[in-house]
Amino acid sequence: MRLAVSLAVVGLLLVALVGFVAAVEGDIVFQRKGGGAGEAPPALFPHWVHRIRFKCYVCHDAIFQMKAGTNPVTMDGIREGKFCGTCHDGKTAFTVSFETCGRCHRE
């Protein structure tokens, strides 16, 4: 019995470790154009976190095209309910506001 519990714990730790590593490798950084002083840092999209919760077709190709650089993501577009704003509307997921900037725009 102890062996089974120990193996289960080790297995869960390995799954958690693999998920953590994959999240780092799967992150997408949206570099800002211009990037002058006083601008918010680039937005970091945790792809793996979203991938755990949703199937690929939820976002691709309905919201985002698969090819890097083909989605002109802007804060105006997000606030209009496009791109990330499709789900980040305060109902499905946290809303986009000045209070939540740091959840995406990280140093």
What band does 14 get if pLDDT is binned at 50, 70 and 90?
Answer: very low
Ramachandran class of 81: left when φ > 0, alpha when ψ lies in -120 to 50, beta otherwise = left
Whether residue 9 has pLDDT greater than 80: no
Question: Which pLDDT tens digit goes with each residue over 37-89?
Answer: 778 889 999 998 999 999 999 999 999 999 888 999 999 999 999 999 999 99
CA 49 to chain centre: 6
Whether residue 17 has pLDDT greater than 70: no
pTM: 0.69
